[in-house]
Structure 1
Amino acid sequence: MTYPKDYNFFKELFIRPQSSPFTKTQNNDLFKTWNGEAIINFKWRMFGVYYYAGIWILFIIYLAYFTLASISYDIFNKENRKKLFFLSIILGFIHLLFEVHFSAYFVPVLTSIYCYRIEKNTDYKEAISVLCLLLDIKFLLFFREFESFGIYFAIIIGVAKRIVSFLFIILIILFGFAHAFFILLKPKSEHDQDLNDPNNPWSLTKKYHQITEDENIANTTTLIEEPDSNTNLFSNYPNSLFSMYLFLTDRNSLSAWSPNDNPLMIILMIVFSFVIVVYLMNLFIGLLNMAIEVDNDRASYLAQKVLVKIELFYLFPNQRRWKAWFPDIIYYYVNDDKIVKINEK
């Protein structure tokens, strides 16, 4: 767990720090042993908790400034917003000096610079809305170092790694059905009012008939509801893919078509419902339960510690050679009842 004694201070500080056996360890089996847990706890108590608290506090201040700066002009005037964006730029650059995943701060800093230099806010509100969401998620990730939260983060990350190939299979099938429905239900022309085309939006929209004085319904249509972009979601491929996603959320985009007029559409809908909605979704839930049982252990939580990141990117090179923080030997105690349980096994 110690670092090489021979090092170049400026090379490690500005180019690439040297690694230790601890920072190179990627196997969770280490954290299943008492030795691995003792190393983690020692590092965390000696310096990790203090550096982590400082990083978190600095991020909270940065998040507060950026969030306040993104509020509309009716609360903060132009000058106050510029000051808040300027402070966001300063704090963002401080984070960039240390943050290994610099993209988490690089884009917000660029956005703050852009907002600081322009006056209107209508050009960047979409970007700010996404960035605020990402920064809020980044704030949530700080809780992963607490065991009560960290175990769940370990489960989420571990399960996602195990089922990514299965999700890819579902995605390909989803693309295939979206392609099939797009070819089958695409209108001949989106702009012509061709009522002979069963897929034309004007043919799919609601029609209203007048009731005569003798209480009979007139054969000719009196009013036709003007179609919109949602009348036929299969008019282009992206909307067709979105329609397939809506089908998974129990929203049917095929209700505008009559089952008698398009039997192939009904067959495809039944196959899609069985294969994706019934079979694969239930199989997906089962795989989730199996993956959760595998990753639901404390060792996975310990592996999520950010000690490696703190050591390599927040400590100075000479600090990584302090014997008080990186000793050659660590002594720890174990309760008698735990030793008895191990011997019984």
Structure 2
Amino acid sequence: MFCFLIAAAIKGLSNYTQNILLIITIILGVLHFTFEIRQLIYSPLSWITDIWNYFDMGAILFSVTTSIVWLQSSAMPVWAVTISILLLEFKFTTFFRAIEFGGTHWAMIIGVIQNSLSFFVIIGFILFAFAHSLYILLRPTNDNLNNSQELNTNMFANLDTALLAVYMMLTGNSFSVSNWSLAENITLTILIILFSFFTTIYLMNLFIGLLSNFIGETNKKELFLLQRAKILSEIELFYMLPYQRRKNNWFPEFIFSLDKLYEVVSKIKNNNWDDDIEKPLLPSTLLKIIQFYDKTNYFDYTILG
């Protein structure tokens, strides 16, 4: 990542230095691409359903492809470099997933996205419906097809720009419909009122409420620990050599969250186990490992052993 950023951001580099940096980017990118392919082969469904893999693959493919084109043409493809830098720097921020400093918030962000995916799909269909309707209503007539000014200023001349115009309306920017008089176009007025009520007012406030409920009900620490365990398992499976995977001091067979374990032991000790599942039997070895103390009195492990 840093090789590509240096080559793209620093002006005045010699062609030799720039080419070396781009070649290193290609080599490292191909290496990371093989890791992604291994993950895909190992568990295709898990790879497809994990949103992080798309960011990783996009950052790898864009940077490698851009580096190859750059080397061949000796000219920097500005648009490709722009997207590559965006993806690479975004990928850099995802490294904080594995540390508690930013991992809890990353876990919460991804949890919100996963739980709101169906809501986003519904909003997408609604936006497309309004964009298609406005495109049919406001597209240039046959008399105006040769009018270049009309085509340049009317965002509803094409369906793709109509989608962009409707998205801008969702954010509160109604400039795209300012060229038409609402008093003379009743259909347009009705569509704008319906759009502003169902999307900007109702759906957006509903979405904010759903987010608030999810954040309030989510155990961020638990999501972070699950995320960290998943990252460790990926490192063990796809980035380590066979002899490294067998090192128990690197990758233990079990990973426990002590906070949750303390809570379970405390419930069992105080006879407060009221969960739906049967009360577990904790081995004395595990209890000795965590060195559980009940405030001032030492807890007798043999009772639960």
State whether TM-score is above 0.5.
yes
CA distance in 2, matches of 1:300, 1:185: 47
- In the alignment, what sits opposite 2:303? none
Gaps of 5+ in 1: 1-62, 194-200, 202-225, 341-345
Q: In structure 2, what residue type is equivalent to 1:332?
A: I
2:38 aligned with 1:115, yes or no? no
After superposition, what is the alpha-carbon deviation per residue over 1:164-223, rounded to whole angstroms, capped at 9, x for unaligned? 111111111111111111111111134345xxxxxxx8xxxxxxxxxxxxxxxxxxxxxx
After superposition, what is the alpha-carbon deviation per residue over 1:64-96, rounded to whole angstroms, capped at 9, x for unaligned? 210111237x52232321122122223334434
Contact 1:154 1:295 in 2 (8 A): no
* C-alpha spacing 1:238/1:158, structure 2 compared with 1 (3 Å): same
- In the alignment, what sits opposite 2:118? 165
Contact 1:159 1:295 in 2 (8 A): no
Q: Relative contact order (alpha carbons < 8 A, sep ≥ 6): 1 or 2 greater? A: 1
- Find the residue that maps to 2:242 and give its secondary structure: coil
Larger Rg: 1
CA distance in 1, matches of 2:291, 2:201: 53
2:237 aligned with 1:284, yes or no? no
- In the alignment, what sits opposite 1:307? 232
After superposition, what is the alpha-carbon deviation per residue over 1:97-118, rounded to whole angstroms, capped at 9, x for unaligned? 5454572424422322232232
* C-alpha spacing 1:323/1:134, structure 2 compared with 1 (3 Å): closer
- In the alignment, what sits opposite 1:71? 9
2:289 aligned with 1:336, yes or no? no
CA distance in 1, matches of 2:122, 2:107: 24
In terms of fraction of residues, the more helix-rich structure is 2
CA distance in 1, matches of 2:29, 2:137: 51
Deviation at 1:324, TM superposition (A): 4.2
- Find the residue that maps to 2:177 and give its secondary structure: coil
CA distance in 2, matches of 1:227, 1:132: 36
* C-alpha spacing 1:333/1:114, structure 2 compared with 1 (3 Å): farther
* C-alpha spacing 1:333/1:113, structure 2 compared with 1 (3 Å): farther
* TM-score computed with the length of structure 1 as normaliser: 0.64
Deviation at 1:334, TM superposition (A): 3.4
- Find the residue that maps to 2:184 and give its secondary structure: coil
Gaps of 5+ in 2: 40-52, 255-284, 299-305
2:297 aligned with 1:297, yes or no? no
Contact 2:105 2:220 in 1 (8 A): no
Q: In structure 1, what residue type is equivalent to 2:232?
A: L
* Aligned positions of 1:131-210 closer than 5 A: 131-189=84-142, 190-193=144-147
Deviation at 1:316, TM superposition (A): 1.9
- Find the residue that maps to 1:312 and give its secondary structure: helix
2:243 aligned with 1:318, yes or no? yes
Q: In structure 2, what residue type is equivalent to 1:271?
A: L
- Find the residue that maps to 1:258 and give its secondary structure: coil
Selected match of 2:20 from 63, 70, 83: 83
CA distance in 1, matches of 2:96, 2:83: 21
Deviation at 1:307, TM superposition (A): 0.6
CA distance in 1, matches of 2:193, 2:61: 47
- Find the residue that maps to 2:13 and give its secondary structure: coil
Deviation at 1:309, TM superposition (A): 0.8
Selected match of 1:247 from 160, 163, 169: 169
Q: In structure 1, what residue type is equivalent to 2:15?
A: K
Aligned-residue Cα RMSD (Å) equals 2.6
Identity score, percent: 37
